[in-house]
Amino acid sequence: MSGPDSGPEFSAGRPRPWRPDDLLNANSNTERAAYGVVPGVVGANASQPVPPETVGGLVREFSKAAAEMAVEFGKGCRDIVRQSLGNRDSVLVRSFGKVRDSYLGKIVTRLRGKLRFINEYLPEDKEPLHAWSVIVFVSFLAFAALYVNSESTVSTPTPEIKKIYIHPPSAARIMLPDGRYIAYKEQGVPADRARFSIIAPHSFLSSRLAGIPGLKASLLEEFGIRLLSYDLPGFGESDPHPNRNLESSAMDMLLLADAVGINDKFWVVGYSSGSMHAWAALRYIPDRLAGAAMFAPMVNPYDSIMTREERRRTWEKWARSRKFLYFLARRFPRFLSYFYHRSFLSGKHGQIDKWLSLSLGRRDKALIEDPIYEEFWQRDLEESIRQGNVKPFVEEAVLQVSNWGFSLADLKLQKKQQGKGVLNWLKFVLSAAQEEYIGFLGPIHIWQGMDDKVVPPSMTDFVHRILPGVAVHKLPYEGHFTYIYFCDECHRQIFTTLFGTPQGALDITIEVDQSTLEGNTEEQKEVALGDSVPAQAET
């Protein structure tokens, strides 16, 4: 049978007309909607479930709720400000009561008038300067929370973190006159066959194992080179120094050279921050040095003789985090221990550029991702921090940015000025002394990558301005690591520049006194003749 809702005009899929009985069934319709049945729909759509809400809808609802909360929060803040500072008796009104009539007050009034069109989008508040500033701030916090939450919920595979392994002691050590032990590593030809001797202090977060990274023993043999690298005080297996400075560092280098049998002059190699120890050797023990080779040499970025342009070109290459670490090292060095304990002293391996806040060029980034470099870097790091003491690293960082105790201008080769007065003039004439020079007399070579963002080329330009006699080798497209790390052809070029054509190691020849040999020969002949006479008589 057909009911009042039957018939062709009320077929399936068409809504029926509204009837007064629907008011009585409002509650039941609500319950049916809760179970996924849409009231007012018959036929095939009578039991169709409600479609799920989309992400866009959720975001819109959340934005509306955040905006309403922000408006209420802004109104509350405005009321508090008005009650505390906006009444007529407040200090603010008495002091700045005439601000509204000033030029600034007129600008604010004009700005509020231009922002009136935003009022229609606000739920209640009619002060856009008050409300929208709060809305923007709260929205920023809300979306930041959503972003962090979404990042945390996404399941991304975490790379395996390699733990730091401390190897058993293996270094050769000598005892210094003050009782400290210094560890060193020797490469190349033996001492009695060495044509050239090189001592290389290591850079920050490194050890004696670095030396010249990737240098082949065959190349050292070809040039007849003896290479020594050592652990700075507190690094590796060297004992810490109670009052370390750059002068004591130069003295340690000298004592090491004497202890291992380097009797002649030797070359010093400085790389990156390790070059400040090479500069100290040029200043305090110049008579024992044959020359210096520097690679991306570090200088004090706070040096007073730097021009404003040189300082600007240097600092603009560094990331903010690196600038902050330099600031801490200069002003608040104790806070450095916190960052070091969270990075390379945490017991886990990480990336060098992250730990040291380095900005690297394209070729440097490719190099540090190479497995060969990564293995070398991790082993060198493990040796550097084997003592687990943060103090040597803080000392090294402070030395980079503090007063060195000397200036690079002290190394400049120049004539020694004679004292004024008649007595000094007579002394100079009577002694027939030749002109004396001060500064470093030997050669200084600097290799600088032009794409270096760790030690910018502006530092080398500064050194060349102070020391015009320095030979600067500019390397296009090279970074901080790419020229000296694991580059056989680069190492050959360096040694050829320093020592010329390879001549091999020295030949060990034993000189024999010919007169002694002749005397011994005559005695042997006499003994032989004397022995032959009885032999003939017996026959």
Tokens of 362: 């394209």
Q: How many CA atoms lie within 13 A of 386 on its CB side?
A: 25
DSSP 170-197: --EEEE-TTS-EEEEEEEES-GGG-SEE
Torsion over CA: 313, 317, 320, 325 (sign): negative
Is 388 found in the same domain as 290? yes
End-to-end Cα separation, the chain, in angstroms: 164
Alpha helices in 179-242 (DSSP H): 217-223
pLDDT, one tens digit for every residue, the chain (539 residues)? 444 444 444 444 455 555 545 544 544 444 444 444 444 444 444 444 445 556 566 667 777 777 777 777 777 777 766 665 555 565 555 555 555 556 656 666 776 666 666 565 555 545 555 666 666 666 666 666 666 555 444 444 555 678 999 999 999 999 999 999 999 999 999 999 999 999 999 999 999 999 999 999 999 999 999 999 999 999 999 999 999 999 999 999 999 999 999 999 999 999 999 999 999 999 999 999 999 999 999 999 999 999 999 999 999 999 999 999 999 999 999 999 999 999 999 999 988 888 888 889 899 999 998 999 999 999 999 999 999 999 999 999 999 999 999 999 999 877 666 556 666 656 655 554 455 667 898 999 999 999 999 999 999 999 999 999 999 999 999 999 999 999 999 999 999 999 999 999 998 765 555 565 555 555 555 544 445 444 443 43
What range does the domain containing 458 cover?
Answer: 172-418+437-499
Tokens of 42: 């018959």
Find residue 217's DSSP bridge partners. none
Q: Is residue 157 part of a domain?
A: no
Is 280 found in the same domain as 213? yes
Global pTM reads 0.66
Query: Cα separations (Å) of 190 from 74, 196, 252, 494?
Result: 80, 11, 22, 21
How many domains does one find in the chain?
2
Is 176 found in the same domain as 123? no
Is 471 found in the same domain as 381? yes
Is 221 found in the same domain as 100? no
DSSP 310-340: HHHHHHTTS-HHHHHHHHHHHH-GGGHHHHH
- The angle subtended at Cα 126 by Cα 92 and Cα 56, nearest 5°, is 125
Is 447 found in the same domain as 413? yes
Query: Collapsing DSSP states into helix, strand and coil, what is residue 512?
Result: coil
Q: State the pLDDT at residue 506.
A: 94
CATH number at residue 454: 3.40.50.1820
DSSP 108-174: HHHHHHHGGGGGGGSSS---HHHHHHHHHHHHHHHHHHHHHHHHHHS--PPPPPPBP-PPPP--EEE
Is 320 found in the same domain as 192? yes
Q: State the pLDDT at residue 60.
A: 74
Q: How many CA atoms lie within 13 A of 163 on its CB side?
A: 3
Instruction: Provide the phi-psi class of 432: left if phi over 0, else alpha when psi is between -120 and 50, else beta.
Output: left
Sequence-separated (6 or more) residues with CB below 8 Å from residue 75: 124, 125, 130, 131
Tokens of 301: 């970025």
Q: Is residue 332 part of a domain?
A: yes
Is 181 found in the same domain as 144? no
Q: Is residue 459 part of a domain?
A: yes
Q: Is residue 432 part of a domain?
A: no
Is 178 found in the same domain as 143? no
Boundary (domain end) residue, out of 150, 185, 216: 150
Is 205 found in the same domain as 269? yes
Q: Is residue 477 part of a domain?
A: yes
Q: How many CA atoms lie within 13 A of 50 on its CB side?
A: 11
Is 289 found in the same domain as 383? yes
Q: Is residue 261 part of a domain?
A: yes
Q: Is residue 491 part of a domain?
A: yes
Boundary (domain end) residue, out of 483, 499, 515: 499
Q: Is residue 167 part of a domain?
A: no
Alpha-carbon distance 13 to 42, whole Å?
6
Q: State the pLDDT at residue 352.
A: 85
Q: How many CB atoms lie within 10 A of CB 330?
A: 16
Alpha-carbon distance 290 to 442, whole Å?
6
Is 146 found in the same domain as 191? no
